[in-house]
Amino acid sequence: MKNAVLLPIVVVIVLVLAVASLFVGGFDISVETLLNDAEARDMFLISRVPRTLALIFAAMAMSVSGVIMQMITQNKFVEPTTAGTAQWAGLGVLFALIILPAADPMTKMVVATGFALFGTIIFIAVLRRLSVRSSLIVPLVGIMLGAVVSAVTTFLAGTFDLLQSMSAWRSGGFSSVVRGFYEPLWAVLIIAVLAFALANRFTVAGLGKDLATNVGLRYEQVVFIGVAMVAVATGVTTVVVGFIPFLGLIVPNLVSMMLGDDVHKNLPWVALVGAGLLLACDLIGRVVVAPMEIPASVILGVVGAIVFIALIVRQRRHVSA
């Protein structure tokens, strides 16, 4: 299908999903009550709008992070949850809970971001020392690193009696997102704009260190900036809504299957498709067991695992480990 046709269709679908996300829920809100009923209007502004915005920002954060990481590591299966970045951010949150129980969300975000940055640098360092960097080994190493960090988190949480609050936070979801709590996610917009500005550099970095250096790219610098951006995006998202697994994996892969590997051209698509996918998962989670809800991250975890497996089976014909 031509892009000229595809783009408007995708935009319309995402808009419909966003509107649906605004109007679906336990408290009955329609356009009519919105105009006439002050209570409905309050509810709309306090709960629905922040939730939908949080969904869109978190989706952008995770899918843009996925693109950046895939370019830096030259591997299609790397994203914050398969590289351990999210698990490190989780350890950071726990660390903040233990050391500074009364910390405000902002402090927690700084700590989580610091941990995420540290963990991602470790992952990159491990990758550089790997002699075999096949497409399947890289994510396996990342997932194992994440498992080690998760084990540490679980151990510490168990010692300090925070296990259940950790599992509550890990599968976070968007049900608790209200006005006054989601605002830090606006920072994701800055990351998205920055990613767009640096897109061409990431594309070149994706060609590999030697080639990138040859054409005049300050490779190490670009890698560090990319890692730092991913760490901030993951840290902020983790504190506000918890883990969102696999989003950074599915969306960039879908987009690059359609459009190729030009980051500059792909980024708006990635942000758009990511937002659509997360909005859809959140809507499904809210509708199927209403008035209860299944967090979007759980649905993504399951759907994402299936898509991930489908992707590697597809690759199996082209690449073997």
Partner 1 sequence: MSVLESRRRSRITGPATYGKDRPRFTPTMRLILLSVVLAIAIACFLLLFVRGSFAFAFPRRLNMLGAMAVAAFTHGLGTVVFHTVTNNRILTPSIIGFDSLYVLMQTLTVFVFGGTAIANTEGIPKLLAQTALMVALATILYRWMFSGKLGSLFLMLLVGVVIGLAFDSISTFLQRLLSPTEYDLLSVKLFGRLSAVKGDYLPLAFAVCVFAGVILWKRRHHLDALLLGREAAMGIGVSYKRELTIMLVLIALLVAFSTALVGPMTFFGFIVATLAYQLAGSYRHIFVLPMAFLLGMLTLVLGQFVMQHIFYAGGFLTVIIEFVGGILFIGMILRKGTL
Positions touching partner 1 (CB under 8 A) are 77, 81, 122, 125-126, 129-132, 134, 136-137, 139-141, 143-145, 147-148, 151-152, 155, 158, 163-164, 167-168, 170-171, 245, 294-295, 297-298, 300-302, 304-306, 308-309, 312-313, 316-317, 320-321
Angle value at C-alpha 29, between 27 and 30, nearest 5 degrees: 160
Q: How far is 213 from 275, CA to CA, in rounded Å?
A: 34
Tally DSSP H helices, then E strands, for the chain.
15, 0
The least CB distance from residue 165 to partner 1, in Å, is 9
The least CB distance from residue 129 to partner 1, in Å, is 5
Say which residue the tokens 């936070």 belong to.
169
Say which residue the tokens 């199927």 belong to.
288
The least CB distance from residue 79 to partner 1, in Å, is 12
The least CB distance from residue 148 to partner 1, in Å, is 3
In order of 109, 294, 316, the CA distances from 290 in angstroms are 32, 9, 40
**Which of 99, 79, 98, 76 has its CA nearest to residue 87?**
79
Q: What is the DSSP letter of 175?
A: T
The least CB distance from residue 226 to partner 1, in Å, is 22
Exposure class string for 25-62: b at 16+ Cβ within 10 A, else e: beeebeeebbeeeeebeebbeebbbbbbbbbbbbbbbb
The least CB distance from residue 161 to partner 1, in Å, is 10
Q: How far is 43 from 122, CA to CA, in rounded Å?
A: 44
The least CB distance from residue 173 to partner 1, in Å, is 9
Dihedral angle of Cα 138, 189, 186, 99, to the nearest 10 degrees: 30
Tokens matching residue 128: 């550089």
Q: Which is nearer to partner 1, 59 or 222 (CB)?
A: 59
The least CB distance from residue 51 to partner 1, in Å, is 18
Q: Which is nearer to partner 1, 20 or 136 (CB)?
A: 136
Q: How far is 72 from 230, CA to CA, in rounded Å?
A: 11
How would you write 3-23 as a 3-class SS string?
A: HHHHHHHHHHHHHHHHHHHHH
* Distant-in-sequence, close-in-space partners of 171: CB < 8 Å, separation ≥ 6: 242, 243, 295, 297, 298
